[in-house]
Amino acid sequence: MAKVAVVRYLFCALLNLMLTHSEAQKWNASSILGYSRDAFPIAFDSLIHFLSIPNDSHDSLGIVANVQWCEKTYRSRGFQVQTIYESGVPFVLASQVIDPHLPTVLFYTQIDGQPVDPSAWHQPDPYQAALKDSSGVILDNAVIHAAWNPDWKLYARSASDSKGPAICLLTAFDILHKYGVKPAFNVKVIMDFQEELSSPKLPVAVADHRDLFAADMLVVMDGARHVSNMPTLTFGARGIATATLTVFGPRVPLHSGQYGNFAPNPVFGLARLLAAMKDEDGRVLIPGYYDGIHLTAEEKKLLREVPENALELSHQFGFAEPEKVG
């Protein structure tokens, strides 16, 4: 699902990101919003077409069609395009050198999507985008050319995760080109077709082609929106660490009615181990876990200004109270 107003305002955020300081002074918020409004109908049609190409990560034929669309779309905008294969898995890399002396920004975009069950969708086809009003009534997509309503939403597989952001990026490039403005940096765009499978070949591709991926900054065009539904620029993300634990018990299966309270049950051993990792307030108890983490007064101030209501979120998600960490 993609909300019409959010997509449009994301154009604005991207344009601000790409402008030089002098150009940014010329393009005030009002003009950027106007340019985005003008570009929106064409961008909407492009998104509709892009969404119509099935992109299940497991569907090789569908992925090939998406690769071809990406190659053609970026080449038509003057980008140098090459497709890298790692063990048969494609990555499309588009690049545009504005000035060799400028820094380079690498944009990451996810193109693949989750498998889909059409019977669970309230529309004929998840790959045929449906524009719906606030009551869920399907509208004619052409209505967007005559008017728009911020409460309308576009429903299709990968509309928000993550073909919508990919089209937003392309549209920002188009707006700059239309008005004769070049980005304030050299541009690279990497398109990933196995993100929903945890991108197993991406680290290998980066290691094998370090020169192609080399950049001064990385912008990820993927991620959850803020609960306020406001366009969000995120400067970091939670990392992940994995471990495999084996808890041992009896060598053979035992009936709990006969051997319970005698033979140790590994389920309870594992439960105690997991419970020991956090206290009742949700704070991690693993020694050294918080070492080196110190929030400055400015960081705390910024966090307090994020428009969130803990009680409202708790009610929405259905739990009594949030953890008390931080």
Most confident of 2-11, 30-39, 53-62, 223-232: 53-62
145 located within any domain: yes
- Give residue-wise pLDDT tens across range 36-95: 889 999 999 999 999 999 999 999 999 999 999 999 999 999 999 999 999 999 999 999
**Any domain includes 226:** no
pLDDT of residue 79: 98
Do the domain assignments include residue 228? Answer: no
Comparing CA positions, the residue from 308, 50, 14 lying closest to residue 175 is: 14
CA torsion, ordered 268, 273, 276, 281, to nearest 10 deg? -70
* Greatest mean pLDDT among 199-208, 230-239, 289-298: 199-208
Q: Are residues 149 and 208 in the same domain?
A: yes
What confidence tier does 32 reach under pLDDT thresholds 50, 70, 90? confident
pLDDT of 4 strictly over 70: no
Claim to verify: residue 213 and residue 265 sit in the same structural domain = no
Does residue 42 belong to any structural domain of this protein? Answer: yes
**What pLDDT is recorded for position 307?**
86
| pLDDT for res 33 | 86
Task: State pLDDT tens for residues 104-143.
Answer: 999 999 999 999 999 999 999 999 999 999 999 999 999 9
CATH code of the domain containing 98: 3.40.630.10
Among residues 196, 220, 244, the one where a domain terminates is 220
Gyration radius of the chain's alpha carbons: 24
Same structural domain, 282 and 146: no
pLDDT of residue 234: 81
Q: Of 172, 205, 220, which one is at a domain's C-terminal end?
A: 220
Tell whether the model's pLDDT for residue 21 goes beyond 60: no
Same domain membership, residue 151 and residue 287: no
| Residue 324 included in any domain | no
pLDDT on residue 220: 93
User: How many separate domains does the chain show?
Assistant: 2
pLDDT band at residue 311 under the 50/70/90 scheme: confident
Identity at 163, one-letter amino acid code: K
Greatest CA separation for the chain: 81
Answer whether residue 236 is part of any domain. Answer: no
Please work out, in degrees rounded to the nearest 5, the angle formed at the alpha carbon of residue 279 by the alpha carbons of 276 and 284: 80
Q: Taking the model in full, what pTM does it have? A: 0.83
In this structure, are 297 and 197 located in the same domain?
A: no
Averaged pLDDT score across all residues of the chain: 90
Residues 82 and 180 in one domain: yes
Q: Say if 322 falls within a structural domain.
A: no
If asked whether residues 204 and 277 sit together in one domain, one would say no
Q: Do 55 and 127 fall within a single domain?
A: yes
Expressed as residue numbers, the domain containing 280 is 256-317
- pLDDT of 6 above 50: no
Q: How far apart are CA 187 and CA 81, in angstroms?
A: 12
Residues 212 and 261 grouped into a single domain: no
